[in-house]
Structure 1
Amino acid sequence: MFDSHVAVLLDHAVALVNALTDGEARGRPYVAPRGAELLEAVEGALSDTAASLPRTLDAAQAEFLVAAARSMREVFQAMRDDRQDDAAATVNRLLRDSGARPRLDRAAGGGRDGGPPWQLHFHGADDSFAAGHSAGCATGLALAVGGSLASRLGVCGADRCDRVYVDTSRNAARQFCSTACQNRTKAAAFRTRKAAAT
């Protein structure tokens, strides 16, 4: 499976795609937030990194993340459609546009709290918050698409839902973005069987 750092990067990619791109979610149209609501959506998607969020995330950074999320969605869709070459090309564009480059940065506390003294990041120390997160997500996707776990990138298989997910199940059998979509699909199949039997 993905190591913990890559798993976090992929979780951020999923959260940004699902929060910032239009489509369908759990059987209903989904229109991504815009304006002031967009900033709240970014903060919500990256809530586990609240300490690193800038005090004021400006509109330009939010729009940068929207563009990155749209490209990340293309990667998930290409993998669903068995177009790995297209996914790789999109990931390469994301890596280039975000300026992704690996570097070791001293961890907060310098390892005194029992954690590692150094952390691997995929952006420069002076990059914007948006570029840094986009670079990290692009690198996580690159490691997935370029590795043996590429098939773990998925798009919900439920009717009228196109939210994305990363399959972390042991048997690689996940098909839905959430248990809500899984239950919705099972209920629809049950109703269809019941109607056919009468």
Structure 2
Amino acid sequence: MSDVVGTVVTLVNDVTPGERRGRAYRPGDLVTAVRDALPPARTPDHPTAPEADELAGWAARLRQVVELVDAGELDQGCAALNTIMRETAAMPTLSRHDGEPWHLHFHSAEAAWAVSWAASLATALAVVLGNAAVDRLGICNAPACDRVYIDVSRNGTRRFCSTACQNRVKAAAFRARKSTP
């Protein structure tokens, strides 16, 4: 499940506009961004442009959930996530395909490509929201960055989306200390 939560973070960060590392961020080609954010595909013909657009829309809604949680609005975040899971018909389903053993999916076998991913990603995020790890999910604390992160460190102190943002904040604090007499 932690791999899928990591995929949520990557997809949200790569396909939703905002700020990244001190600069305005706009995703480039959505097909490429979605393909790069997801695990290697067994179906190389996915995503199509409409599928990438649809999944980017789901990612924007998942971003809103993270923003609510980060703002301390857990009840609203959970309600929004429940709506997403209902709309995608997220449900645990055992599946066996492509020569793999039985494994768990979180979408119906009939779900369209983007909806199947959205259901799985929403369910993974629900696992985080439904346990004590919820405080490890957040929005980067660096100025001019609104990328999301999930803290998987042992001590649970991560507050930045990347080392680059952490270093920007530390360098700015160092410069501020040096400039004061």
TM-score by length of structure 1 reads 0.86
1:23: Cα distance to partner?
A: 0.5
2:42 and 2:71 mapped to 1: Cα distance? 35
2:90 and 2:44 mapped to 1: Cα distance? 20
**Any unmatched runs of 5+ in structure 2?**
none
Whether 1:14 aligns to 2:3 is no
* Alignment map for 1:24-173 (pairs within 5 Å): 24-33=19-28, 37-46=29-38, 49-106=39-96, 108-110=98-100, 117-173=101-157
Q: Tell me if structure 2 keeps the 8 A contact 1:157–1:176.
A: yes
1:107: Cα distance to partner?
A: 5.5
Whether 1:177 aligns to 2:161 is yes
Tell me which moved more, 83-92 or 93-102: 93-102
Q: Deviations over 1:104-159 (max 9, x none)?
A: 1125434xxxxxx3211001222222111111110011111111211111110111
2:11 alignment partner AA: L
TM-score by length of structure 2 reads 0.94
Runs of 4+ in 1 over 6 A off after TM superposition: none
What secondary structure sits across from 1:149 in the alignment?
helix
Q: Deviations over 1:47-100 (max 9, x none)?
A: xx2233441422221121111111111111111111101110111111022221
Q: Tell me if structure 2 keeps the 8 A contact 1:65–1:134.
A: yes
Aligned match of 1:188:
172
Q: Percent identity?
A: 44
Q: Tell me if structure 2 keeps the 8 A contact 1:156–1:163.
A: yes
Q: Tell me if structure 2 keeps the 8 A contact 1:155–1:177.
A: yes
Change (3 A) 1:89 1:160: same
CA RMSD between the two structures:
1.4
